[in-house]
Amino acid sequence: LEEAIRSVLEGDYFSIARGMNGHVGSGRKGVERVHGGKGIGLINPEGERILDLVTAHGLAVCSTFFAKKESQKVTYASGGRRTEVDHILVQRPALGTVRKLKRLAKTAVAKAEDTEMDALYEKLDGAKGETFTIRLPSGQGAS
Protein backbone atom coordinates (compact mmCIF):
# COMPACT_ATOMS: atom_id res chain seq x y z
CA LEU A 1 0.00 0.00 0.00
CA GLU A 2 2.82 2.39 0.86
CA GLU A 3 4.42 1.77 -2.54
CA ALA A 4 1.13 2.59 -4.28
CA ILE A 5 0.80 5.81 -2.26
CA ARG A 6 4.35 6.86 -3.14
CA SER A 7 3.69 6.23 -6.85
CA VAL A 8 0.96 8.89 -7.03
CA LEU A 9 2.22 11.97 -8.85
CA GLU A 10 2.20 15.27 -7.00
CA GLY A 11 -0.96 17.20 -7.83
CA ASP A 12 -2.95 14.05 -8.61
CA TYR A 13 -5.96 13.29 -6.45
CA PHE A 14 -6.37 9.86 -4.97
CA SER A 15 -8.30 8.12 -2.24
CA ILE A 16 -8.07 4.72 -0.63
CA ALA A 17 -11.30 2.96 0.29
CA ARG A 18 -11.12 -0.48 1.78
CA GLY A 19 -11.67 -2.69 4.78
CA MET A 20 -8.52 -2.32 6.84
CA ASN A 21 -9.47 -4.33 9.94
CA GLY A 22 -8.25 -1.48 12.07
CA HIS A 23 -10.25 0.47 14.61
CA VAL A 24 -9.13 4.12 14.62
CA GLY A 25 -11.54 4.91 17.46
CA SER A 26 -12.95 8.28 18.48
CA GLY A 27 -9.93 9.72 20.30
CA ARG A 28 -7.66 12.03 18.37
CA LYS A 29 -5.02 13.17 20.83
CA GLY A 30 -1.77 13.57 18.92
CA VAL A 31 -3.37 12.89 15.52
CA GLU A 32 -5.62 15.94 15.17
CA ARG A 33 -4.48 16.62 11.58
CA VAL A 34 -5.45 13.16 10.34
CA HIS A 35 -8.33 12.17 12.65
CA GLY A 36 -11.43 14.31 13.07
CA GLY A 37 -12.51 12.83 16.40
CA LYS A 38 -15.84 11.54 15.11
CA GLY A 39 -14.96 7.86 14.83
CA ILE A 40 -16.49 5.17 17.02
CA GLY A 41 -15.14 2.91 19.72
CA LEU A 42 -11.56 2.48 20.84
CA ILE A 43 -8.38 2.32 18.80
CA ASN A 44 -6.59 -1.02 18.42
CA PRO A 45 -3.03 -1.83 17.23
CA GLU A 46 -4.16 -2.12 13.59
CA GLY A 47 -5.87 1.27 13.93
CA GLU A 48 -2.63 2.73 15.25
CA ARG A 49 -0.86 1.43 12.13
CA ILE A 50 -3.52 3.07 9.94
CA LEU A 51 -2.98 6.38 11.74
CA ASP A 52 0.81 5.99 11.38
CA LEU A 53 0.33 5.41 7.64
CA VAL A 54 -1.92 8.43 7.10
CA THR A 55 0.34 10.65 9.21
CA ALA A 56 3.45 9.57 7.28
CA HIS A 57 1.85 10.26 3.90
CA GLY A 58 -0.18 13.42 4.58
CA LEU A 59 -3.53 11.63 4.40
CA ALA A 60 -6.63 11.81 6.60
CA VAL A 61 -9.24 9.27 7.75
CA CYS A 62 -12.19 10.94 6.01
CA SER A 63 -15.09 9.43 7.98
CA THR A 64 -13.74 10.72 11.30
CA PHE A 65 -14.27 14.31 10.15
CA PHE A 66 -18.04 13.96 9.65
CA ALA A 67 -20.71 13.63 12.33
CA LYS A 68 -23.02 10.71 11.61
CA LYS A 69 -25.20 8.41 13.64
CA GLU A 70 -23.26 5.41 14.92
CA SER A 71 -25.54 3.13 12.91
CA GLN A 72 -24.35 4.88 9.73
CA LYS A 73 -20.68 4.39 10.60
CA VAL A 74 -20.71 0.77 11.78
CA THR A 75 -19.23 -1.47 9.09
CA TYR A 76 -18.85 -4.61 11.20
CA ALA A 77 -20.99 -5.98 14.02
CA SER A 78 -20.62 -9.30 15.79
CA GLY A 79 -21.32 -10.63 19.27
CA GLY A 80 -22.77 -7.34 20.46
CA ARG A 81 -19.68 -5.41 19.34
CA ARG A 82 -20.03 -2.73 16.70
CA THR A 83 -17.14 -1.06 14.96
CA GLU A 84 -15.95 0.74 11.86
CA VAL A 85 -13.24 -1.11 9.97
CA ASP A 86 -13.86 0.20 6.44
CA HIS A 87 -12.16 3.53 5.96
CA ILE A 88 -11.73 6.11 3.23
CA LEU A 89 -8.35 7.78 3.28
CA VAL A 90 -7.84 10.99 1.33
CA GLN A 91 -5.02 13.44 0.94
CA ARG A 92 -5.22 15.92 3.81
CA PRO A 93 -5.67 18.96 1.51
CA ALA A 94 -8.59 17.20 -0.24
CA LEU A 95 -10.73 17.20 2.92
CA GLY A 96 -12.04 20.66 2.02
CA THR A 97 -13.12 19.36 -1.39
CA VAL A 98 -14.82 16.36 0.22
CA ARG A 99 -16.72 18.71 2.56
CA LYS A 100 -17.83 20.90 -0.38
CA LEU A 101 -18.99 17.88 -2.39
CA LYS A 102 -20.90 16.53 0.60
CA ARG A 103 -22.63 19.90 1.00
CA LEU A 104 -23.46 20.01 -2.75
CA ALA A 105 -24.93 16.49 -2.60
CA LYS A 106 -27.10 17.40 0.40
CA THR A 107 -28.31 20.52 -1.41
CA ALA A 108 -29.18 18.52 -4.54
CA VAL A 109 -31.15 15.97 -2.52
CA ALA A 110 -33.00 18.72 -0.63
CA LYS A 111 -33.94 20.45 -3.91
CA ALA A 112 -35.22 17.18 -5.39
CA GLU A 113 -37.29 16.51 -2.27
CA ASP A 114 -38.71 20.06 -2.39
CA THR A 115 -39.68 19.60 -6.04
CA GLU A 116 -41.44 16.31 -5.26
CA MET A 117 -43.28 17.83 -2.30
CA ASP A 118 -44.34 20.86 -4.37
CA ALA A 119 -45.77 18.54 -7.04
CA LEU A 120 -47.63 16.57 -4.37
CA TYR A 121 -49.11 19.71 -2.82
CA GLU A 122 -50.21 20.90 -6.29
CA LYS A 123 -52.10 17.63 -6.79
CA LEU A 124 -53.69 17.89 -3.34
CA ASP A 125 -54.72 21.52 -3.92
CA GLY A 126 -56.21 20.68 -7.33
CA ALA A 127 -59.78 19.74 -8.19
CA LYS A 128 -59.20 16.05 -7.43
CA GLY A 129 -57.26 16.73 -4.23
CA GLU A 130 -59.96 15.31 -1.98
CA THR A 131 -59.84 11.93 -3.71
CA PHE A 132 -56.12 11.79 -4.56
CA THR A 133 -54.58 8.51 -3.39
CA ILE A 134 -50.95 7.55 -3.08
CA ARG A 135 -50.31 3.89 -3.73
CA LEU A 136 -47.08 2.48 -2.39
CA PRO A 137 -45.69 -0.74 -3.83
CA SER A 138 -45.83 -3.58 -1.37
CA GLY A 139 -42.42 -4.77 -0.26
CA GLN A 140 -41.29 -8.36 -0.16
CA GLY A 141 -43.01 -10.12 2.71
CA ALA A 142 -45.48 -7.25 3.26
CA SER A 143 -48.91 -8.30 4.41
Domain limits, the chain: 2-92
Contact 17, 86 (CB under 8 A): yes
| Global pTM value | 0.69
pLDDT along the chain (143 residues), means of 10: 85 84 89 92 92 93 89 84 85 88 90 88 79 72 52
Contact 76/36 with Cβ under 8 angstroms? Answer: no
